[in-house]
Amino acid sequence: MKILGEPVARFVYLMLAALVVTPPDAESGEWDVGGQSSLELRYFPYPTAYAGQKNMKLSPSGTIEPELIYELDGSNRFTASPFARLDANDKRRTHVDLREFNWLHLGSSWDASMGIGKVFWGVTESVHLVDIINQTDLVEDISGEEKLGQPMVNVNIEQMWGTLSLFALPGFRPRTFTSDNARLHGPLAIDTANPQYESSKGKRHVDWAGRLAVTLGDLDISISHFQGTSREPRLLLKNRGGQDVLQPYYDQIGQTGLELQLTTENTLWKAESITRSGQGKRFYATVAGFEHTFYGVAESRADIGLLVEYMYDGRDPRFAPPSIANHDIFAGFRMALNDTQDTTALLGGSWDYRSDAGFVNLEAERRLTDHLKLEVKGRFFVHVPDGDPTAFIRNDDFLELKFRWYF
């Protein structure tokens, strides 16, 4: 089984070699071994939409994600976090990845890391426009919040007013897609084995990124730029031996992002904007809104947050990968009971006011023991008309029950 792409594998070998060459000092070093595994059951209540698609009415799956940290001294650290999923019905969802495999050095006013890592950019909740360093591990969740490990060399230079981060990103990770006969998949097969790239270097193209994050009192501002292979593929219609298939095509793009957050008393005002070139005409996209929290509701310990965000995306779906957040309004409630079990729930819905398509999202969790957590997740497609980007999977509403064991 080919686990990792070739440039990624080379990177890992290099890192392993470096570890072997510099044996950790047994006197001062310290291992920390932890991680988590999970068992989940997905329930798809509605019948399949396409001939040949598996019903998967009740679909079990399990994951394991150990985390090994070796703290050499206060300023040098090695982290490894492999991930594996076994899925009863979806061969492509059964996959492994190195979420993290990196060496970190902490300097006095800078830090640097080399290896496979994960970086998050952004402030909003409904959609993460600016976040671009890591590829989405789409088979994990359609939320787009699960990410594949990305090979990188990262340097962060820090001043009291803010942080400048620079990234070299060798080795591209193609997006993962569910199996052609599985749920959360359209009618056409996706040729994930043969992705195409605009760059002649293909997945060996080295991408670059930088971000400047500044704090001005209650206002946090970040400006970022990414130059390289688009994390979002376009899916091109191809004919393979008389069969229509979709081939992922990764353009070269330049994307500049802006993040804003104003932290006032009970309200966080948030906005993200991007402008991207390389996929048809340069386009702009914005998400902006607020999160207002009512603390200690009705003299209880519970907090209730109200979230509202507006999404706009000006991309032309003929030249750019379609966005499901092009003319949408998101509203949600976040509840935290602040009890011993840290019970929380999020119920949100977004509504495309042009196509009238709706999407409802439910997430709830509660700790059962010091090591065990119960999670419930629901994704529901509401009134999705033909032509909406989510129309292909509108029968694939699901409820998910998950037990997470932390070790």
Q: Which is nearer to another protein, 163 or 199 (CB)?
A: 163
In terms of Cα–Cα distance, which of 321, 381, 320, 318 is closest to 355? 381
Q: Which is nearer to another protein, 200 or 340 (CB)?
A: 340
| Least spacing, CB of residue 3 vs another protein, in Å | 22
Q: Which is nearer to another protein, 145 or 316 (CB)?
A: 145
| Least spacing, CB of residue 135 vs another protein, in Å | 14
Q: What is the CA radius of gyration of the chain?
A: 22
Is-contact 42 83, C-beta < 8 A?
no
Q: Which is nearer to another protein, 93 or 404 (CB)?
A: 404
Q: Which is nearer to another protein, 198 or 220 (CB)?
A: 220
Q: Which is nearer to another protein, 28 or 264 (CB)?
A: 264
Q: Which is nearer to another protein, 48 or 165 (CB)?
A: 165
| Least spacing, CB of residue 160 vs another protein, in Å | 7
| Least spacing, CB of residue 202 vs another protein, in Å | 27
* Binding interface with another protein (CB under 8 A): 32, 34, 36, 69, 71, 77, 104, 106, 108-109, 111, 118-120, 122, 145, 156, 158, 160, 163, 213, 215, 220, 261, 263-268, 293, 295-296, 301, 303, 338-342, 367, 370-371, 373, 404, 406-407
| Least spacing, CB of residue 395 vs another protein, in Å | 29
Q: Which is nearer to another protein, 4 or 104 (CB)?
A: 104
Q: Which is nearer to another protein, 117 or 233 (CB)?
A: 117
Q: What is the 3-state secondary structure (H, E, C) of the chain?
A: CCCCCHHHHHHHHHHHHHHHHCCCCCCCCEEEEEEEEEEEEEECCCCCCCCCCCCCCEEEEEEEEEEEEEEEECCEEEEEEEEEEEECCCCCCCEEEEEEEEEEEECCCEEEEEEEECCCCCCCCCCCCCCCCCCECCCCCCCCCCECCEEEEEEEEEECCEEEEEEEECCCCCCCCCCCCCCCCCCCEECCCCCEECCCCHHHCCEEEEEEEEEECCEEEEEEEEEEECCCCEEEEEEECCEEEEEEEECEEEEEEEEEEEECCCEEEEEEEEEEECCCCCEEEEEEEEEEEECCHHHCCCEEEEEEEEEEECCCCCCCCCCCCCEEEEEEEEEECCCCCCCEEEEEEEEECCCCCEEEEEEEEEECCCCEEEEEEEEEEECCCCCCCCHHHCCCCEEEEEEEEEC
Tokens standing for 284? Answer: 């702009």
| Least spacing, CB of residue 83 vs another protein, in Å | 12
Q: Which is nearer to another protein, 199 or 215 (CB)?
A: 215
In terms of Cα–Cα distance, which of 405, 328, 339 is closest to 125? 328
| Least spacing, CB of residue 101 vs another protein, in Å | 14
Could you give phi then psi for residue 217, rounded to 5 degrees? Answer: 60, -120
| Least spacing, CB of residue 12 vs another protein, in Å | 19
| Least spacing, CB of residue 15 vs another protein, in Å | 18
| Least spacing, CB of residue 275 vs another protein, in Å | 23
Tokens standing for 53? Answer: 């698609």
